[in-house]
Amino acid sequence: MSQQTKILLEEHEMPRRWYNIVPDLPEPPPPPLHPGTHQPAVAEDFAALFPKALIAQEMSQERYIDIPDQILEVYRLWRPSPLFRAHRLEKLLDTPAKIYYKYEGVSPAGSHKPNTAVPQVFYNAQEGIRKLTTETGAGQWGSSLAFACAQFGLECEIWQVAASYRAKPYRRTMMEVWGGKVHPSPSQVTAYGRELLAQDPQHPGSLGIAISEAVMEAVEDPQTRYALGSVLNHVLLHQTIIGEEALLQLAKVGDTPDVLVGCTGGGSNFGGLAFPFLREKLKGNMDPVIRCVEPTACPTLTKGQYRYDFGDTAGLTPLMKMHTLGHAFIPEPIHAGGLRYHGMAPLVSHIYALGLVEAIAIPQTECFAGALQFARAEGIVPAPEPTHAIAAAVREALACKESGEEKTILTALCGHGHLDLGSYEKYLAGEMVDLDLADEQIEAAMQSVPEISST
């Protein structure tokens, strides 16, 4: 118990470039397609939504991309983030395994999301954009973008799913503290929102509707752009600083992972931790099992299909080849709001299809049981999303107890749960149930996936 608990890096040790896994993959990922022509999308297809620098990163074939100094300066407010050795959890589980977790809850917004919010705002500011719009569900992404906009003096307008806007006022207030303007979605601001409110003044909203409103608002003004918090290549790129730091930190204690587990919603937290380790695996420097963990209520990888589909519910975005449950799929209301997405990042889907990573689904009561053990041993109360990663790490550690193997397990604790304690309240009250999807539900939702003749 007297060993080191936190493995830290000094600011001057922080990685100065992001890692793009694309050129290192055995096969290139399938390109996005124009939704009308079904031909590979080109940069101009994204120009109304994103600044040129981010579109270039989205399509880049460069292995490394330098992080501008202005971004590194903001990263220093919380980065490098700590890597913890979970001595006390290991003791509680009575396992011979070593458990490490990379903790992203030290960021001002409390999750990994600012890792990409900051560069997204920076590149927009560089190109003279004055305002960014986005959607948010649980609120992690909206608050991260509001924080980043405050750093570079941009306006930030956020459409928050109405049900969440009403149920989680603290998240909204956090966005407003950083200067963000928050609308419940559907809103009176857009024609689409007004139409939905006319049908139902108490409309609960959905992520798909909120995306549509944010996109519609962005394309109307040449000095406004839209920002997305996961799924896209450039978002995963920015998150690779997590894995690059973890590599340096494990090297400091002379360890390499035998198993890496991360939770997957859109895929950015998982990709951020896993891609640098996958690079080392492909180079033959280490040989970890790399495993995605998703909720049984939204089993994109384990029960979805690898098909071209839309990124949003309304079908406005380019078509992306990804594991999907169908863009019309509305996930059950599980507590891990950040994992409720019908699709999976195209890059994560591609490496899964190539067999480079595994995937499992875990029901939420097992996740919260693991989170409670974790919180009582390690102190930190995890956000609902990484409870999936923790539950997977606990499974692995208990398997090691059975087998006697001294495996090294690495996972990502991508955020704290301070603004999600309502989920824990439900769990502690015994009111949380597991939601298993019937095959017919998935089959029905898959009907919304378009038939693309060229694939």
Chain positions contacting its own copies, by CB under 8 A: 1-2, 4-6, 8, 10-11, 69, 73, 76-78, 88, 106-108, 110, 147, 150-151, 169-170, 173-174, 176-179, 372, 375-381, 416, 418-419, 421-422, 424-425, 428
Q: Measured from the CB of residue 321, what is the shortest distance to its own copies in angstroms?
A: 37
CB closer to its own copies, 292 vs 380: 380
Nearer to its own copies, 231 or 389 (CB): 389
Instruction: Calculate the CA dihedral of residues 50, 55, 56, 58 and round it to 10 degrees.
Output: 140
Task: Please tell me the distance from the alpha carbon of residue 376 to that of residue 204, in angstroms, as a whole number.
Answer: 35
To the nearest whole angstrom, how small is the minimum distance from the Cβ of residue 70 to its own copies?
8
Least distance (Å) from its own copies to the CB of residue 307? 40
What is the C-alpha to C-alpha distance for residues 422 and 407, in angstroms, rounded to an integer?
34
Task: CB nearer to its own copies: give 108 or 315.
Answer: 108
- Cα distance between residue 265 and residue 248, in whole Å: 26
Q: Which is nearer to its own copies, 379 or 404 (CB)?
A: 379
**In whole angstroms, how close is the CB of 176 to its own copies at the nearest point?**
5
Q: How far is the CB of 428 from its own copies (least distance, A)?
A: 5
The least CB distance from residue 10 to its own copies, in Å, is 7
Measured from the CB atom, the residue of 107 and 264 that comes closer to its own copies is 107
Nearest distance from residue 417's CB to its own copies, in Å? 8
Q: What gap in Å lies between CA 219 and CA 49, rounded to an integer?
A: 7
* Nearer to its own copies among residue 108 and residue 450 (C-beta): 108
Locus of tokens 């705002």: 121
Closer by beta carbon to its own copies, 112 or else 416 = 416
